[in-house]
Structures are given as C-alpha cells and as structure tokens.
Chain A
Amino acid sequence: MDPYQFTKMVGLSTGEKHFIWGGIAQDLRSDGRQRLHYRPISVETGVIPQANGSARVRIGATDVIASIKAELGKPSMHQPGKGKISIFVDCSPTAAPMFEGRGGEELSTELAVALQRCLLGGKSGAGAGIDLSSLIVTEGKICWDLYIDGLVVSSDGNLLDALGAAIKAALSNTGIPKVNVDLGPSPDDQPEVNVSDEEFLQFDTSGVPVIVTLTKVGRHYIVDATSDEESQMSSAVSVSVNRHGHICGLTKRGGAGLDPSVIMDMISVGKHVSEQLITVLDSEISAAEASATD
C-alpha cells in the first residue's frame, strides 16, 4: 500500500485543488512561494543531552528531530576496517492523525530506507556521506556503531528533506569520545578499552549530502511541498547532492511514470536547488552551534 496514502486523506475540495494547481502553474503557490523556494528553515542543535549529537529542524510546520548515539561494537566480518551506521525513523502519532497506532510504520520504513540510500552510499562504502573508516577504533576488533534516529514531531510535507537536514545538523553536533585501547600481549586477549569523558572527536560533515525532493504536480515540479501540495502529486523524485555537486542517492516516489528526460531535468534542477540549500543549512547550523556553545 502507498504509505503516502495518508496525505490523500486530507480532504481537499475541488476549489482548493484548483487553487493549488493553478498557483503552481503560475509560479505563485498558496503560501506566496515560488516553485523552487523553500519555506524558512530553522535549526537547533544539542536538543537531546543524552545523545552524542542531536538537532531539531523546522521547515514551516514540519518539525523533525534527529539524534545520534554512538556505541562501541565489533566490525562486521566482511568489512573489518569500517564502523557501522544504522538509520531509523519514527513518526510520532502527534505529527498527524494517520500516524496513530501502526499507521506511521510503513512511512517510517520508507523514510529510513530512503535516508540510508541517500546517506550511506554504495555497498563498498564509496560515495557515503559519512566516512565509515573514521569510525574504526581497532581494526577487526572494535569500532563505533552509530545509531541515527529520526523523529517526526509534526508533519506538513517534505519529511525526507527535513530529516536529511536534521541528520546533517546532528552529525555536525556529534562528538565521539576518544578511546584508548590497551591491546593485551597476545592477539587473543580481550583488549582493554578506556573511553575518555573529556576528549571528543568531531565529525567531518562536509561530505554529508542534502536531500532535495522535487514533487511533480501537473506539468510542473516544486520543492518543499506542503502536505496539501503532496496530496496532489503524481510522483516525486528525491535527490541527495553533496558539496561537490555529485549525486549521492536518488529515490522515486508515487506511482505515475516519468519520462527519462524529465527525470534528468529534475536531477539538474535538484542539483541547482541543493547549492542554495547547502548554503542556508550551513549558515543555520553554524549559527545554531554558536548559540549552543554560548
């Protein structure tokens, strides 16, 4: 079943639908934005003290929180030189009435899968937003397991972009404790691990991509769709783009087919929009970090 079905349940009248369609066609949307304009974005970091890093991102009425927890673990057999990252998403029942009970589950999985695809790169780890080899403590023995949890607090469309931004902000807020390892005399010994309380390593988040979702309504596509606008979409393409303008992941949503040339066009528009989004996010994140340390 379509997890985005809930958006279709927003009862819009024919008049409202026409208003949305007409506005998008004339490049003047219901809230006064143009097709390729984002709503105001606000970023807050360090909102969850228990986590190694956290951030809250608000885009219009969409409100999401990302928290990052690091735990010591064992690297997998196949990739002894790399740490592990898992991404989970939870849609709070307060975010939308449809999320009550098990309603949000399907959407949560879909968002988590899309985020993994956008942030974790290929199987060999190439193109990943986060360098997995920086998570290794002792090769083949100890590594950091990074748990990224996204929580949707309030939903008004464009959840994937918001979650992507929140994870990016949370990662730049994350400090991984420094670890001293005493390897025993023989290689079979259990190594002794000292986790420092004072020294933290900061992440290099420059490679973390941003996610731009282009929603196709009628013949045009828009960025940062509200849930009303999402209810009118025929299909959507989410592109994640890093600082170098490289595409790091792509997901298509919605049943309707798209012409390949339209997809290529959407990718290039997404790339263009991502440049602005990266600039906005960077300044918001550094402002949030500055106010958090004050």
Chain B
Amino acid sequence: MMYSDIGRLNCNISYTTFSTSIRGQGSDNKEFSAMLHKALEGSIILESFPKTTVDVFALVLESGGSDLPVIISCASLALADAGIMMYDIVSSVSVTCIGKNLIIDPTSEEEDHQDASFLISCMPSRNEVTQLTLTGEWTTAKVHEAMELCIDACSKLGDIMRSCLKEAASTLQ
C-alpha cells in the first residue's frame, strides 16, 4: 500500500445468512459499505493518524429495516469508543415516504412499500450533514419537512449516543 500523509478509513458491511426473512438475501454490501465510508469519513480527524488505516467492520445480525442508518450510528459509536480522534459523532436517521406520509425509522415492511426514501447522517453538535441520499419524487417543501424531521431525530439520537458513551467510559474507570 502507498504511503499516505493522512489516515485511511476502510469500511465493510456484511450480513449474516440468517439476518433476512429469505436466507442469504442481505442487501448490496458493496454499495452500503461505500455509503458508510462516506458518512463517517468527514467525522474522523484523518490527519491525526498518518500512514494508518482504521478498519470498520459491521455485521448485521438481524435486518429489520433502516439498516444503513443504524449501521452508521453504531459504527460511529464504535469509533468513539475506540478513541479515534473525531470532529463529532455521527448519528443517522432515515425516513420513508408512503403516499403523503413521512415515516421515520421504517421497518423492512414499510421499506418494501416505500414511494420515496430519505437518509441523512449528520454531526449533531456541529450541525453538519455528512451524508444525504434521497430517492423517489419529492417536492422541495417535502424535502424540507423530511430534513427538519431527520435533523431533529439525529440530535436526539446523538444525545442518547453520548450518554451511552459516557456510561461506558465511567464504568470502565
């Protein structure tokens, strides 16, 4: 591997064969891994560890919808626990649109019937979006609504993640 002045991030997501209702039908790991990489990349201070690689391996034990946002938040927690220098933790939330209704944190069933989807990962304390994808047809007003819903959820999730990190840190000491 080439020498690099900054650290590298390597992400890999895999599904267990029994994680889905039909055996061995996990989602596209390669695409998910790339999305995870993009969501986390901006949060890590890569300059703090030159010529080093951080490997993030995620294994989905049971897939019940909103897999990617859960993986992203979980991976960020793991990085924070590992003591990797980060700008902020990343929390991620997805929203599914069925008809005119926005459904936050959809289950697999809801995802199967979705007309449109919206996924956001953000650094809650810095109020910055690291990753955002959107499929299906949206009006600007609806995007706005979904964005506000998600940002709010992300900051709430971020608070939970922080208290969980602190709990783990205080029991360790």
Contact = CB atoms under 8 A, between A and B. Distances in A.
- Contact between chain A and chain B defined by CB under 8 Å: yes
B138 A247 contact: yes
Interface residues of A, number: 37
B115 A126 contact: yes
Contact of B115 (A1, A124, A247): A124
A124 B137 CA distance: 11
A268 B43 CA distance: 26
B49 to A, nearest CB: 15
Interface in B24-42: 30-31, 34, 37-38, 41-42
Contact of B137 (A117, A247, A251, A264): A247
Given A124-B113, A246-B138, A110 B34 contact: yes
Nearest to A109: B30
Interface in B7-57: 8, 10, 30-31, 34, 37-38, 41-43
A259 B34 contact: no
B135 A271 contact: no
Contacts of A252: 38, 129-133
Given A110-B34, A127-B116, A264-B144, A255 B139 contact: no
A121 interface: yes
Given A255-B41, A264-B144, A1 B8 contact: yes
B136 interface: yes
Contacts of B129: 252, 257-260, 263
Contacts of A253: 38
B117 to A, nearest CB: 6
Contacts of A126: 115-116, 136-137
Nearest to A110: B34
Nearest to B132: A252
Given A113-B31, A117-B133, A122-B115, A271 B140 contact: yes
Contacts of B122: 257, 260
A123 B143 contact: no
Contacts of A264: 140, 143-144, 147
B97 A247 contact: no
User: Which applies to chain B's interface (DSSP): helix, strand, loop or mixed?
Assistant: mixed
A263 B136 contact: no
Contact of B143 (A121, A242, A267): A267
Contacts of B135: 117, 120-122, 127, 248-249
B46 to A, nearest CB: 9
B151 interface: yes
Nearest to A256: B42
A250 interface: yes
A79 to B, nearest CB: 11
Given A113-B34, A267-B140, A123 B114 contact: yes
B143 A255 contact: no
Contact of B126 (A110, A245, A247, A257): A257
Nearest to B120: A260
A248 B131 CA distance: 17
A253 B42 CA distance: 11
A241 to B, nearest CB: 10
Nearest to A246: B137
B128 interface: yes
Contacts of B10: 1
A140 B12 CA distance: 36
A237 interface: yes
Contacts of B111: 123
Contacts of B137: 121-122, 126-127, 242, 246-248
Given A247-B140, A250-B134, A257-B128, A123 B38 contact: no
B116 A122 contact: yes
Nearest to B90: A257
B107 interface: no
Given A113-B31, A127-B136, A248-B138, 11 more contacts: A109-B31, A121-B135, A121-B137, A123-B112, A126-B116, A249-B134, A256-B42, A258-B132, A263-B132, A263-B147, A268-B140
Ranked 9 nearest A-B pairs via Cβ? A127-B137, A257-B128, A122-B136, A126-B115, A250-B134, A127-B136, A255-B41, A255-B42, A247-B138
